[in-house]
Chain A
C-alpha cells in the first residue's frame, strides 16, 4: 500500500491526546481554552494535510507506515482512503467549533481535557487500518462520556445498559466475522450481531433511548460530540456494508426509515430543546443509513454526502442551541422566548443550519437528499415519498422551534446577550461551509462518489490486504446454515 509522505494520521491522533494531558494541568480556564483551541487547530491542519497528501498521491488507499506508533507495532495502524479522508477533517472541525463556541462560564461543566481525548479516539476510529482497531476505538469512546455522567452525579444506567450491550454485540459480531475461514463465509449470527450493534449505536428505534437520556443528562457539548460525527454510520459503512447480505441491508434500511419517520414526528411534539435536537438528529442520521443501504452508487453517494452535510449542519444547529442555553439556561419550547432582538445572528444561523439539515435548496444537504430519494425511488418506489415526508416534517419541526425560541415579546435582561467574537467566528465558518457546499457541490459529490464505489467494490470483490471484507452475495435462501 502507498505510504503517506508524512505521518499525518498518527500526528493528528496524538496531538489532541497530548493536548488533553497538557490542558488538564492548566489552572486558568481561559488559558486552558486557548491552549485547547490551539491543539484542535493543529489537529485540523494535520487532518487536512493528510487529506491533501492522499489526493496528491492519487492512490486508492494510503497508510501511515512512517509514524511512531506503526514503528512500535511493526505494521501500519492507520490508513486513509476515499471514505475516511474527509471524515477526519470533519471530525476535527466539529471539535474545534464546539470548543470555540464554549463560553468561559461553561468550561467548568464541559471538560476540555476530556473533549480532546475523545477527539483523539474519534480520529483513531475513523483512521483505523483494521476492523478490530475500529471496534476497539468505538468501545473505548464509551468511557469518557460515562465518566462525565458519573462525575456530574447523573444516573448513567440507561447509557451503560445500552452501550454495554453495544460493546458486547460488537465484540461478538466482529470476532465471528473475522474468524471466517474465507472471505464471503462469515457466519450469519455474526453479521446479525454486528448489524444490531451498529443499529444500537446509531440510535435506531427501539434502541434509541440512550441518546435522549444522554442529551438530557450529560452536558450538551459532550452529547453533541458523541453523536455528531455519526460513528454508527461509519461502523455500518466500514464494518457491516462490506459483509452484509442483501437482507441485512434491507433490515437496516427499514428500521432506519422507521426511525427517521418516528423521530421526525417526535421532534414536532417536544417541549425541551435538547430532546428536540436529539430527535432531529436521529431523524437525519437515519436518512444517512437509508441511503447507505440502497447499495447503489447514486444512493451511496447521496448518503455519504448527506453524512457530511448533516454532521456539519447539525453541529452548527446544536451549537446555536448551546449558545442560547449558555444565556438563558435550559431552553423550553413550550413558550415564546423572544430572543430575536438580542441575538439576531444566532436566529439566522439556527434557521440556516436547521433547514440545511432538512435539505433546503441552496444548502449542502439539498443535492444529497435528492440523490438518496432518486436512488430509493429506483430501488423501492415507496421509500422515496417517505423520505420526502420525513424532510417535510423535519422542516416543520425546525421552524416551529425557531419561532418558539426567537419569536415573542423581548424580555429585558440584566446581562448582555450579544454574540461573542468566538461564537461569531464559529457561526461564520459554519455558514460559509453550508452555503458553499450547497452552491458548489460538484467537487464534494465527486469525492463521495469515489468513496461509494470503494464500498460497492468491497461488497462485490473485497481485498483482504486492505482490511476490507467481501460480502456474501448469495441469494437470501442460501444463507441459512
Chain B
C-alpha cells in the first residue's frame, strides 16, 4: 500500500480536532461570532471526519496485518548540533486506535446532545470552545507517539476539564470546585512531566519505543532495571491517580459534576477519567519490570474501588452517585492493569465509558424514568437488602454510612495537612515582607489583609478617637 495512505489518515485524525479548535478559537478572538447552527455543523463535520480517519486506519491495519503504524509529522524544534529534537509523532496500534475511536464516538454523541441541551444558553459558544480544546487534547493524548506529545494532550484535557467545571461561573461553588480540580491536575501534570524527563534522561529519547520497550503493544518489552522502573513508575502512578481520581485524589470527581451534564458525561464519566488508566496501559513494560510497582497499582485501584462503592451508595443526587459508580470502575481498571492484564482493562474502559455516558446523559430525566417504572410496576420499586447489608451489624453499617457520607474526609485531610500549612507559611512571609517594606518606606502601622484580625483591629483602633478630636 502507498505510504501516503496511513499518513493522510493519521493526519486526518489529528487534524480534524485541530481544525475545529482553530475555527472556534479564531471566531472567538478575531472574526464575527459563529452562530449555533454553524458551530454544530463544524462540530459534526470535524468529529465525523476524525472518526472516519481512525476507522480507515483501523481497516487498513486489519487489511495489511500491520500492528503498529507510525505517522511522523516532523521535528517541531530541532537543534541537530546539540542532538535536541522535539519530535511530533503519532502512533496507531491496538491501544491507541480503539481509544481514539471511542473518543470521537463519545465526543460526537455528546456534541449532538449538547447542541440541543445548551440551545440558546448564554455560554453555548464558550462550551463548544472548551469542547474543542478537550477533543484535541484527548485525540493527541490517545494517538501520541512520543511522551512529549502525550503530555501536550494531557495538559489540554486538564485545562478544558477545569474550565468546563467552572462553566456556570456566576456561582462560587463550581469555581471553587474547578480550582480544586485544576490543583489536582497540576500535581498530576508535574508528576507526569518529571517522569517523562526522567525517562528521557535514562533512555536519551522521547519515543515510546525507547521509553516503554520494543515491539508492538501489548507485547513490548522494556529494558529498565527494577529500581529505575519503580522510581519512574511511581511518578507515572501519581500522575494517573490524579487524572483518574484514585484515592486520595477522589474528591474531585463528584465536584466535577458541577459542570453542564454533557461535559460531566463525556469528560468525568467516560473519557478523561480513563486517561490515567490509559497511561498505565501505555507504560505496561515499566510495570512489568517492577512487581512492587504492580502491587502499588493494584492497591491504589482496589482502595479507590472500595471507596467508590462505599461513598456512592449514600449519595442523594444522581450525578454524584454516578460519579462514585464511575470511580468504582475506574478503580477496578488499574487493579486489572496491576495484575498483568492488558486487553481486559482496554475492553473494560470501552464498555464502561459507553455505559456511563448513556447513564449521565439520561440523568436529567431520571425522575421521569423512575415514575414511568413505578407506574409500570404499580408501586414503589422494591429494595432487597444485599449480602453485606444482611451480615453487618447496625453499628457497623452506621459507621460505614458515615464514612461514605463524609467521603472518608479525604478532601479535609488534604486541606489540613497539605494546603493549609502551605498557605499559612506563605501568608506569614507576606506579612513579614510588608512589615519590612513599611519600615523601610516609613509607612508604619499600616494594617493589611493577612494580619490576624485582632492585630488589625488594634492597629485600626487609635485612629477613631483622633478623628473625633479633630472634628468636634
Are A336 and B197 in contact, CB atoms less than 8 angstroms apart? Answer: no
In the complex with contacts A265-B422, A348-B28, A403-B170 CB distance below 8 A: no
- B303-311, B335-343, B437-445: which lies at the A interface? B437-445
C-alpha spacing A340/B198, complex, angstroms: 40
Nearest CB of chain A from residue B206's CB, rounded to whole Å: 10
Does A385 have its Cβ within 8 Å of any Cβ on chain B?
yes
C-alpha spacing A297/B190, complex, angstroms: 25
Does B86 have its Cβ within 8 Å of any Cβ on chain A?
yes
Does A389 have its Cβ within 8 Å of any Cβ on chain B?
yes
Nearest CB of chain B from residue A157's CB, rounded to whole Å: 5
A contacts with B: majority SS: helix
Are B159 and A158 in contact, CB atoms less than 8 angstroms apart? Answer: no
User: Cβ of A378: which chain B residues have Cβ within 8 Å of it?
Assistant: 201
B82 in complex: contacting residue of A262, A272, A298, CB < 8 Å: A298
C-alpha spacing A377/B199, complex, angstroms: 11
Does B186 have its Cβ within 8 Å of any Cβ on chain A?
yes
Does A135 have its Cβ within 8 Å of any Cβ on chain B?
no
B182 in complex: contacting residue of A298, A396, A427, A446, CB < 8 Å: A396
Are A392 and B190 in contact, CB atoms less than 8 angstroms apart? Answer: yes
Are B175 and A407 in contact, CB atoms less than 8 angstroms apart? Answer: yes
B190 in complex: contacting residue of A361, A362, A389, A409, CB < 8 Å: A389
Are A348 and B170 in contact, CB atoms less than 8 angstroms apart? Answer: no
C-alpha spacing A108/B159, complex, angstroms: 40
Flag B58-85 by CB within 8 Å of A: 1 or 0 each.
0000000000000000011111011010
User: Cβ of B440: which chain A residues have Cβ within 8 Å of it?
Assistant: 157-158, 161, 209, 213
User: Cβ of B178: which chain A residues have Cβ within 8 Å of it?
Assistant: 403
Are B427 and A385 in contact, CB atoms less than 8 angstroms apart? Answer: no
A362 in complex: contacting residue of B152, B172, B197, B425, CB < 8 Å: B152
Does A410 have its Cβ within 8 Å of any Cβ on chain B?
yes
Flag A254-273 by CB within 8 Å of B: 1 or 0 each.
00000000100110111110
Are A371 and B84 in contact, CB atoms less than 8 angstroms apart? Answer: yes
Name the CB-closest residue of B to A389: B190
Are A400 and B179 in contact, CB atoms less than 8 angstroms apart? Answer: yes
Does B30 have its Cβ within 8 Å of any Cβ on chain A?
yes
Interface size of A in residues (CB-CB distance below 8 Å): 62
Does B375 have its Cβ within 8 Å of any Cβ on chain A?
no
Are B29 and A377 in contact, CB atoms less than 8 angstroms apart? Answer: no
Does B169 have its Cβ within 8 Å of any Cβ on chain A?
yes
Nearest CB of chain A from residue B447's CB, rounded to whole Å: 13
Are A155 and B442 in contact, CB atoms less than 8 angstroms apart? Answer: yes
Are B437 and A209 in contact, CB atoms less than 8 angstroms apart? Answer: yes
- Which among B75, B122, B429, B440 has the highest number of chain A CB atoms within 10 Å? B440
In the complex with contacts A157-B441, A269-B427, A360-B30 CB distance below 8 A: no
Are A361 and B151 in contact, CB atoms less than 8 angstroms apart? Answer: yes
Are B170 and A410 in contact, CB atoms less than 8 angstroms apart? Answer: yes
Name the CB-closest residue of B to A301: B79
- Which among A158, A266, A427 has the highest number of chain B CB atoms within 10 Å? A158
Nearest CB of chain A from residue B24's CB, rounded to whole Å: 12
Nearest CB of chain B from residue A361's CB, rounded to whole Å: 4
Are B86 and A367 in contact, CB atoms less than 8 angstroms apart? Answer: yes
Residues 425-472 (chain B) with a chain A CB within 8 angstroms: 425-427, 429-430, 433, 436-437, 440-443, 449-450
Nearest CB of chain B from residue A185's CB, rounded to whole Å: 31
In the complex with contacts A158-B440, A388-B190, A389-B190, A374-B170 CB distance below 8 A: no
In the complex with contacts A392-B187, A403-B178, A271-B436 CB distance below 8 A: no
Are A388 and B194 in contact, CB atoms less than 8 angstroms apart? Answer: yes
User: Cβ of B182: which chain A residues have Cβ within 8 Å of it?
Assistant: 395-396, 399
Are A406 and B169 in contact, CB atoms less than 8 angstroms apart? Answer: yes
User: Cβ of B207: which chain A residues have Cβ within 8 Å of it?
Assistant: none
C-alpha spacing A338/B175, complex, angstroms: 11
Are A408 and B169 in contact, CB atoms less than 8 angstroms apart? Answer: yes
Does A355 have its Cβ within 8 Å of any Cβ on chain B?
yes
Q: In the complex, how many residue pairs between chain A and chain B have their CB atoms under 8 Å apart?
A: 139
Does A384 have its Cβ within 8 Å of any Cβ on chain B?
yes
C-alpha spacing A262/B426, complex, angstroms: 8
Does B423 have its Cβ within 8 Å of any Cβ on chain A?
yes
Does B315 have its Cβ within 8 Å of any Cβ on chain A?
no
Are A408 and B172 in contact, CB atoms less than 8 angstroms apart? Answer: yes
Does A166 have its Cβ within 8 Å of any Cβ on chain B?
no
Does B148 have its Cβ within 8 Å of any Cβ on chain A?
yes
Are A209 and B433 in contact, CB atoms less than 8 angstroms apart? Answer: yes
In the complex with contacts A157-B442, A269-B427, A355-B159, A370-B148 CB distance below 8 A: yes
Name the CB-closest residue of B to A448: B79
Does A373 have its Cβ within 8 Å of any Cβ on chain B?
yes
- Which among A213, A271, A298, A334 has the highest number of chain B CB atoms within 10 Å? A213
Interface size of B in residues (CB-CB distance below 8 Å): 56
A155 in complex: contacting residue of B28, B162, B171, B443, CB < 8 Å: B443
Are A392 and B29 in contact, CB atoms less than 8 angstroms apart? Answer: no
Are B441 and A268 in contact, CB atoms less than 8 angstroms apart? Answer: no
Does A476 have its Cβ within 8 Å of any Cβ on chain B?
no
User: Cβ of A408: which chain B residues have Cβ within 8 Å of it?
Assistant: 169-170, 172, 175
C-alpha spacing A220/B213, complex, angstroms: 53
B179 in complex: contacting residue of A297, A391, A399, CB < 8 Å: A399
User: Cβ of B450: which chain A residues have Cβ within 8 Å of it?
Assistant: 269, 271
Name the CB-closest residue of B to A445: B77
In the complex with contacts A336-B172, A400-B179, A392-B186 CB distance below 8 A: yes
Residues 30-79 (chain B) with a chain A CB within 8 angstroms: 30, 75-79
User: Cβ of B190: which chain A residues have Cβ within 8 Å of it?
Assistant: 385, 388-389, 391-392
Does A187 have its Cβ within 8 Å of any Cβ on chain B?
no
Does B166 have its Cβ within 8 Å of any Cβ on chain A?
yes
Residues 397-432 (chain B) with a chain A CB within 8 angstroms: 422-423, 425-427, 429-430
Are A377 and B197 in contact, CB atoms less than 8 angstroms apart? Answer: yes
User: Cβ of B29: which chain A residues have Cβ within 8 Å of it?
Assistant: 345, 348, 427-428, 431
User: Cβ of B442: which chain A residues have Cβ within 8 Å of it?
Assistant: 155, 157
Does B189 have its Cβ within 8 Å of any Cβ on chain A?
yes
Nearest CB of chain A from residue B257's CB, rounded to whole Å: 18
Are B449 and A334 in contact, CB atoms less than 8 angstroms apart? Answer: yes
C-alpha spacing A271/B434, complex, angstroms: 13
C-alpha spacing A213/B159, complex, angstroms: 33
Are B426 and A265 in contact, CB atoms less than 8 angstroms apart? Answer: yes
Residues 333-348 (chain A) with a chain B CB within 8 angstroms: 334, 336, 338, 340-341, 345, 348
Does A449 have its Cβ within 8 Å of any Cβ on chain B?
yes
Are A395 and B169 in contact, CB atoms less than 8 angstroms apart? Answer: no
C-alpha spacing A362/B18, complex, angstroms: 12
Name the CB-closest residue of B to A217: B441
In the complex with contacts A212-B433, A268-B423, A348-B29, A297-B175 CB distance below 8 A: no
Residues 78-96 (chain B) with a chain A CB within 8 angstroms: 78-79, 81-82, 84, 86
Does A131 have its Cβ within 8 Å of any Cβ on chain B?
no
Does B363 have its Cβ within 8 Å of any Cβ on chain A?
no
Flag A313-355 by CB within 8 Å of B: 1 or 0 each.
0000000000000000000001010101100010010000001
Please give me the 9 A-B residue pairs with the lowest Cβ-Cβ distance, nearest first. Answer: A407-B169, A361-B152, A392-B190, A392-B186, A155-B441, A407-B175, A269-B426, A158-B441, A265-B426
A-B contact pairs, 23 of them (CB 8 A): A155-B443, A157-B442, A209-B433, A269-B450, A298-B84, A345-B29, A360-B159, A361-B155, A362-B152, A377-B197, A377-B201, A384-B197, A396-B186, A399-B162, A400-B179, A403-B169, A403-B178, A408-B169, A408-B170, A409-B170, A428-B30, A431-B29, A441-B76
